[in-house]
Amino acid sequence: MADSGKESKKGQRKVEKKLSKLRQNLKEKEEILHSDFPTLVLCVCNGGLDNSVTYSEILELFGGSEIKCDVIMIPQKSYCFVSYDSINMSEEACKRLNGSKLAPTESRKNEVILYTLFVKEVPKGISPSNVLPPGLILLTDIISDKYAAEIMESVNFDAEENSVSQQLKHRRVKHYGYEFKYSINNVDPDEPLNDRIPVIFKHLLEKLLEKKTIKFYPDQLTVNQYQPGQGIPPHVDTPSAFEDGLVSLSLGSQVVMEFRHPDGRHLSVLLPPRSALIMTGESRYTWSHGITPRKSDIVTLPNGRLTLIPRGVRTSFTFRKITGIKPTVQVSEQHTPNIPCDESTAVELEKLHVNKVYEEIADHFSGTRHTPWPNIVGFLNEQPDSSMLADIGCGNGKYLGINKTLYEVGSDRSFNLAQIVQSRNYQVYVGDVLAIPLRENMFDVCLCIAVIHHLSTEDRRQRAVAELLKILRVGGKALIYVWAMEQELNKVKSKYLKKNKNNESADTNTDDKNNATGYHGNTDVNSKAFELDNVTDCKENAEKTDEESNSDNVCNIGDKIDEVLNTDKENIDICDNEIEAGNSSENTNPNMSQKLHVHVNRTQFQQQDLLVPWQLKNGKSSKTRNENTFHRFYHVFTKGELETLCIKAGNCRILKSYYDQGNWAVVLEKL
Amino acid sequence: MKLLTHNMLTSNIIKGVTKGFPLGIQVSKLEEKSVDFNPDFVARMIPKIDWSALKQAASDVGKGDEIPADIVPQYEQNEDFLKKAHHVLMEIEVIEGELVCPESGRKFPVSNGIPNMLLNEDEV
């Protein structure tokens, strides 16, 4: 390519520099580990669909008629993978093609420079692992080809029988025994269907029962048929509706199923044709499962080689035993209360989904709260000696005792947390943020960390701020932290934030108006008060934010957002036009009967009011029931909402407001 | 609960109660815990607290004799006074008992040193 040796050397250095940057990026952002030694798989940077590079271009360049290779293109990525049968071949291709250029095409305006790297590990979501979530049983070749063919014949989707069959957005579905109603994510035990589970499955189910793989003979069957490119969103099967031990028989094509734990663990499990997957215990109650809509799966062959297997039509048979519990009785993953619209329902909701939960999880919660946040410590340490401090909602007292020159009183709504504070020799009382039993105009400093987002109406949140101001003396300061709707602000520029925000709105079906106005309406207010804090030090901090719960719930979701963004471009464009709308952070719901969603871990918030699961560890075995998952109510704040709330609450001014690790924070001064 | 903490508590959160201060103390278990004496700290606390309420609280727990009825002049330099104040403010702790609203008579239990200041819904 280059004319002289000197230039070639210069070019080489440039390529090297570029490569080292790419390695870092791939590792950090894409979970792709490169290898210094040749491997069978190459990652071709810039050779991906996102750069308008096509499968056939890469195949021709890296393989051709002589060399055999597989090309794995991944939707919305700027890279692709090429895998070879031998190291010699991959080494040759890597040398030959690193730094090579692809000329512009009709769909590609500029030329593309390809960089090649050997790959040690591909991202978890792309290639299935050998490790299974606890409680998950995978039985391969559970039935013969002949038996499989007979089953497929008996369940004929094309011939409409009496059974309930419907075409969902993502797949075709048919029910036996009881209809699974997607509107309520439940079955009605009083409404059995005429069609029971066909006898053809008796042999399989009895075998599983005999082997004690399952404890109950199922009485409900849902048949799903997935075309290539179809999937199912991550979910946990309604705990109250079905017993432990869900059986899923896969026929037709293989598929990769994604399992996610609330703490952020993610495992991809390859379901080969004619396999049965049995979800029990933790894998049934705690891990969500879903199928990413894709047209192919990347599979590791026994020799360690990655290969691409296109998906065909897959039919899954999910056998479940219903519990007989009538729907609407229990709060489950899918059956949740409404967003409260008045004081009494708000009180009831918070009793159940805040106060009770903290009592139950107090010990475990406290065990996950060790490291104070640097910005809060900084605030405490800058207070003058002998200042009087009230820490309202002090939890386990993590911020007490940091500045030993202060006189501090902590309070919490939870008796069990207050006991922990007391045992650490701090002053504490049990009390409510909405009725602070402290003398007015008394305190120099007030902390209220991760409390106000547990209040379920705007009126209650505003009254809470007013209570804090009540106990402060004039000139006294309050530091307030709440969980942010925006979880990617620190890493990325405001442009990204805007996209991020729009994505949330676009991604939500029923409450997008809410979110859009709640956020956009505030941009003016914020731009003055907003001050992006230096959060890099905090990053080193092993502990996550108070309200990231016991898990990675909200961390590292940037890439995911990116993916969703790309699929939702149309919606985003629509939302861009709404930026000027609204002028208040008031999120009063126009839709009074709006359901509270259960937050799915590692996903973007779908609404501002939501239930966040807390997985209790070291509790009773979760094998029998879903007793160890608790749902806490949160109202996550959009940018500027906290400032607006404080100003509305009364006599104060905002000294500082900032974003800190997924939380919005303000320092107030009482006027 | 130290008496300094008691000095900050009020029952004015109850509907109809205006001042709710000072709360009476009915004590069934009291403890004395040694705390390092810091004269500067105590001197800075004196103007913040309500002395008569402290005096009453001390009387309620049977320690009324340990502090004078009024703050002495130039207390900042009066080590004897500051030590007494330190003892009553920082070292006497109510472990079991009740706090009593001076206006409504509503009692708030103190158990394991923790006052429970939660109200029923109809009291707010």
Same domain, A50 and A192: no
Mean pLDDT of chain A, nearest integer: 77
Q: Are residues A188 and A264 in the same domain?
A: yes
| Residue A417, token pair as written in the block | 């947390």
CA distance B116 to chain A (A): 5
Give the CATH number for residue A107.
3.30.70.330
Q: Is B2 on the interface with A (CB under 8 A)?
A: yes
Per residue in A574-606, pLDDT (tens digit) is 222 222 223 333 333 344 457 788 876 556 677
Q: Does A55 touch chain B (CB under 8 A)?
A: no
Domain final position from A67, A86, A121: A121
Q: What is the least distance, in Å, from the CA of B77 to any CA of chain A?
A: 17
Determine the Cα–Cα distance for residues A456 and A262; give it in Å rounded to an integer.
23
Does residue A97 surpass a pLDDT of 50? Answer: yes
A18 backbone dihedrals φ, ψ, rounded to 5°: -60, -45
Measured distance CA(A472)–CA(A240) in Å, rounded: 47
Alpha helices (H) in B1-124, listed in sequence order? 3-6, 39-45, 51-60, 79-86
Write the pLDDT tens digit of every residue in B39-81.
Answer: 999 999 999 999 999 999 999 999 999 999 999 999 999 999 9
A151-185 burial code (b ≥16 CB/10 A, e <16): beeebebeeeeebbbeeeebbbbbbbbbbbeeeeb
Please tell me whether residues A86 and A167 are part of one structural domain: no
How confident is the model over A174-211, as pLDDT tens digits?
899 999 887 677 888 888 999 899 999 999 999 999 99
Tell me if A488 is assigned to some domain.
no
Per-residue pLDDT band at A303 (split at 50, 70, 90):
low
* CA A38 – CA A94 distance, rounded (Å): 9
| Whether residue A163 is found in the same domain as residue A307 | yes
User: Of chain B residues 40-59, which have a CB less than 8 A from chain A?
Assistant: 40-41, 44-45, 48
Q: Report yes or no on A265 lying in a domain.
A: yes
State pLDDT tens for residues A364-419: 788 777 788 999 999 999 999 999 999 999 999 999 999 999 999 999 999 999 99
**Paired strand residues for B20:** none
pLDDT at A450 over 80: yes
Would the pLDDT of A359 be above 80? yes
Residues A326 and A319: their CA atoms lie apart, in Å, by 19
Interface check B114 vs A, CB under 8 A: yes
CA-based nearest residue to A97, from A61, A56, A71, A69: A61
Query: In sequence order, which residues have a C-beta less than 8 Å from that of residue A364 and are 6 or more positions away?
Result: A550, A616, A617, A618, A619
Q: Do A439 and B117 touch (CB under 8 A)?
A: no
A410 located within any domain: no
Residue A85 and residue A198 in one domain: no
Predicted pLDDT of residue A448: 98
List all residues 6 or more positions away from A670 whose beta carbon is below 8 Å from its beta carbon. A469, A472, A473, A474, A475, A476, A477, A478, A651, A652
Q: Would you call B8 and A438 a contact, using CB atoms and an 8 Å cutoff?
A: yes
**In chain B, which residues have their Cβ closer than 8 Å to the Cβ of A411?**
117
Q: Which residues of B touch A431 (CB under 8 A)?
A: 117-118
A400 assigned to some structural domain: no
The Cα of B97 is separated from the nearest Cα of chain A by a number of Å equal to 14
Tally Cβ neighbours within 10 Å of residue A404: 9
Q: How confident is the model at residue A502 (pLDDT cuts 50, 70, 90)?
A: very low
Report pLDDT for A24: 83
* Residues A157 and A304 reside in one and the same domain: yes
Q: From A404, which residue of chain B is nearest by alpha-carbon distance?
A: B41
Chain B nearest-CA residue for A415:
B116
Residue position matching structure tokens 């390519």? A1
B1, B3, B13, best to mutate vs chain A, most A CBs in 10 Å: B13
Chain A residues closer than 8 Å to B41 by CB: 385-386, 405, 407
Is residue A581 situated within a structural domain? no
Measure CB to CB from residue B112 to each of A347, A422, A440 and give the nearest one. A422
Q: Is B25 on the interface with A (CB under 8 A)?
A: no
Does any domain span residue A590? no
Residue B112 sits at the chain A interface (C-beta within 8 Å): yes
Q: Which residue range is the domain that position A272 belongs to?
A: 136-320
Model confidence at A228: pLDDT above 90: no
Which of B18, B40, B48 has the highest number of chain A CBs within 10 A, making it the mutation to test binding with A?
B48
Answer yes or no: are the C-beta atoms of A386 and B41 closer than 8 Å.
yes
Residues in chain B with CB shorter than 8 Å from the CB of A386 are 40-41, 44-45
Domain check: are A191 and A268 in the same one? Answer: yes
**Would you state the pLDDT for residue A538?**
30
Same domain, residue pair A199 and A242: yes
Report CB contact under 8 Å: A438, B10.
yes
Strand, helix or coil at A413?
coil
Residue B20 included in any domain: yes
For B111, the domain range is 3-118
Chain B residue numbers with beta carbons less than 8 Å from the beta carbon of A429 are: 1, 5, 9, 114-117
pLDDT band at A59 (very low <50, low <70, confident <90, very high): confident
Query: Does the residue A309 lie in any domain?
Result: yes
**Domain CATH for A154:** 2.60.120.1520
Asked if residues B56 and B7 have their Cβ atoms less than 8 Å apart, the reply is no
**Mean pLDDT score, A542-553:** 35
| Domain CATH for B46 | 2.20.25.10
Domain assignment of residue B9, yes or no = yes
Instruction: With CA atoms as reference, report the closest residue to A414 among A493, A374, A359.
Output: A359
Q: Which of B36, B112, B116, B117 to mutate to test the interface with A (most CBs of A within 10 A)?
A: B117
Total number of domains constituting chain B:
1
In a domain, A523, yes or no: no
Residues A184, A36 within the same domain? no
Last residue of a domain, one of A290, A320, A350: A320
Rounded Cα distance, A480 and A664, in Å: 8
Question: Do residues A84 and A197 share a domain?
Answer: no
- Note the pLDDT tens digit of each residue in A305-333: 666 677 899 999 999 999 887 765 334 44
CA-based nearest residue in chain A for residue B118 = A431
In terms of domains, do A297 and A188 share one? yes
Q: What is the ipTM of this complex?
A: 0.98
- Answer whether residue B12 is part of any domain: yes
What total of structural domains would you count in chain A? Answer: 2
Question: Is residue A114 very low, low, confident or very high in pLDDT (cuts 50, 70, 90)?
Answer: very high
pLDDT at A565 over 70: no
Domain C-terminal end among A299, A320, A341: A320
Same domain, A17 and A115: yes
Residue B124 lies in a domain: no
